[in-house]
Structure 1
Amino acid sequence: MMSKKSLLAVILAGLLPLTCYFLLKYFTAEAVVMPKRYFYDTVQNNTSYGKTTSDTVWHKVRDFTLTNQFGRQVSLSDLEGKIIVADFFFTSCPIVCPTLTRNMKRLQDAFSKTDTIVRFLSFSVDPQRDSAERLKKYADKYGINHDTWWMLTGDKDEIYDIAKKEFKANVADTKVDTNFIHTEYFFILDKDRVVRGWYNGMDSIHLNKLASDVVLLMLEKDKKKKRRFFGS
């Protein structure tokens, strides 16, 4: 029987033809169902010519500045216009985090041809111990591409605020301990920094869906332009 790792490798190996499929579908189909937006800040009611319309203001992850594995200060705003895949981990985690890191590495490899669009972020939830030097050593152990994947450390309160209030990690994973954000989930932000989905990073089916959704978000048009997409 094929192992889970082998199955995941086969699924991700099929990502390139999947990309081609969605490109073809985009140019030939009337509509594509896009990944949903999940969290909103407000709903504005606008009245014009006697008609009232509602406009949802979707929650955007705020800008932040943390330290990456090279000891450099980096900000979310440095990744403007990028699609982001993120997780929350710590380097001394014995079982779950190494598997998550290997699976995210497979995703990084799968999107290596589009590395100008997709970026990866791993937030340490144990920043007191996870120094930049320790993160660099961990990253090198798994052979990640440092140019497209930041492992981040910094003030613990700031990281936990990002996890809970911005990515809504404790909403996505209701079993998570809010005092120690250790979740198996990966999160996607679109080019506007809006959360568009979360996926179990240990599950090959979820990872396949994540990869498909990243491809769709790569094709998504600017909201101000004429749209062909529904469900978003």
Structure 2
Amino acid sequence: MNKRAVLGLMLAIILPLAGYYIVKSYGESATQMPRRYFFDSVVTSTNNGKQTIDTIWHQASNISLTNQLGKQVTFDDLKGKILVIDFFFTRCPSICPRMAKAMKRLQNSFINSNDSIVQFISLSIDPEHDSVTQLRNFANRYTSNHDSWWFVTGNKKQIYDFALNEIKASVADVNVDTAFIHTENFFLLDKNRVVRGWYNGLDTLAQARLVRDIPLLMLEKNKKKTFKEFLKELFGRS
């Protein structure tokens, strides 16, 4: 095993554990939790009939897709899971293979727990070309766990609406062309599908922050979780 692989393995183990100790030792108020980014305005009515305008954190909507196994899937199928999302297309000759390798490292960081804790999703921005067969061939190059990492295609308008209006990809990356979305960011959504951060998928430091932030959101789900329970959830250990 070369030095880079050893370093990657150490980071995969140390960063989630460090996140646990930081939160448990100092509390959420003293820990920089992944922030929430976008809110919606809602109109509410009081008992006397008056209407007031309130704000709630924006929750990304559900979307129906087809994954690399030919299975119809939705985000509603993933209730209770943390989501890591990126955008790609199988014919991409530039950043997509590099981002897929980075996503593979992320998946490996949570290899024993991600079936129940984290879902990785790569959304095709070229659904006309990216058939189930194309997606499966691409996916096979990077993962053997097709359950916890979906490569998905679907209706192009729905995918682009999701990228631009639901997780605000063009806000995270000002270079996004609305006619052909191609961003190098990973998007982190909590269990309520609220955007909690975006991270440059080609930057190892940004990837390290993402590996740190995922267990923080895991712990946010249950702040009373014991260290033993956290280990079991994270690494599948008893």
Same fold (TM over 0.5): yes
For residues 175 and 112 of structure 1, do their structure 2 counterparts lie closer, same or farther at Cα, with a shift above 3 Å needed? Answer: same
Q: Percent identity, please.
A: 49
Q: Any stretches of 5+ residues in structure 1 without a counterpart? A: 1-5, 48-53, 226-232
Number of the residue aligned with 1:22: 19
Number of the residue aligned with 1:230: none
Number of the residue aligned with 1:140: 140
Q: Check conservation: 2:23, 2:216, Cα contact below 8 A.
A: no
Q: Displacement, 1:44?
A: 7.1
CA distance in 1 between counterparts of 2:212 and 2:6 reads 15
Number of the residue aligned with 1:68: 67
Q: Displacement, 1:209?
A: 0.8
Q: State the 4+ residue runs in structure 1 displaced beyond 3 angstroms.
A: 6-9, 43-47
Total equivalences in the alignment: 215
Q: Displacement, 1:222?
A: 6.2
Q: Check conservation: 1:62, 1:166, Cα contact below 8 A.
A: yes
1:161 pairs with 2:158: no
CA distance in 2 between counterparts of 1:186 and 1:26 reads 23
Alpha-carbon displacement from aligned partner over 1:84-128 (angstroms, at most 9, x marks no partner): 000010000012000000000000001112211001000000000
Number of the residue aligned with 2:213: 213
CA distance in 1 between counterparts of 2:55 and 2:4 reads 40
CA distance in 2 between counterparts of 1:109 and 1:36 reads 25
CA distance in 2 between counterparts of 1:21 and 1:80 reads 26
Q: TM-score, normalised by structure 1?
A: 0.85
CA distance in 2 between counterparts of 1:205 and 1:46 reads 46
Q: Check conservation: 1:12, 1:106, Cα contact below 8 A.
A: no
For residues 65 and 119 of structure 1, do their structure 2 counterparts lie closer, same or farther at Cα, with a shift above 3 Å needed? Answer: same
Q: How does 1:76-225 map to 2 (within 5 A)?
A: 76-115=75-114, 116-221=116-221
Q: Displacement, 1:46?
A: 10
Please report the RMSD computed on the Cα atoms of aligned residues, expressed in angstroms: 2.6
